[in-house]
Amino acid sequence: MSIATSSVSFEGGSGYLAWPERATKPLPAVIVIQEVWGVDSHIRDVTQRIAAAGYAALAPDLYAINGQRPTELAVERVVEVQQFLNAAPPVVRHDATARNAE
């Protein structure tokens, strides 16, 4: 089944929408809530898999305000934190002193 996707904007926010391309509308819908990293490739994949099951699926970007993320939560900054945490030894995650030394 082919899936259609779109970045969407709505009053106060934005998100990622996926739906079965040839489905008869209206469709049942599912809201996909992001993890701490935001609407990343994993959340987009989950949204597409739900659409493949016959639903319209929307993953709202909970960090976006009027379609824009604040500077502190820009995609690039979130990716940097994710990469740092993925590469850091476990002690860094739980010890602020070790984290600051990195």
Q: What is the pLDDT of residues 65-75, one digit of tens each?
A: 888 888 999 98
**Residues 7 and 60: beta-carbon distance below 8 Å:** no
Q: Do 24 and 43 sit in the same domain of this protein?
A: yes
Domain that holds residue 100: 70-102
Q: Do 11 and 61 sit in the same domain of this protein?
A: yes
**Residues 62 and 33: beta-carbon distance below 8 Å:** yes
Q: Do 51 and 6 sit in the same domain of this protein?
A: yes
Q: Specify the number of domains making up the chain.
A: 2
Q: What is the dihedral of CA 37, 21, 3, 78, to 10 degrees?
A: -20
pLDDT in tens, 49-90: 999 999 999 999 999 888 888 899 998 999 998 898 888 888
What separation, in Å, do the N-terminal and C-terminal C-alpha atoms of the chain show?
Answer: 46
Q: Do 60 and 77 sit in the same domain of this protein?
A: no
Q: Do 6 and 33 sit in the same domain of this protein?
A: yes
Q: Do 29 and 61 sit in the same domain of this protein?
A: yes
Q: Do 27 and 50 sit in the same domain of this protein?
A: yes
Helix residue ranges, H only, 1-68: 41-52
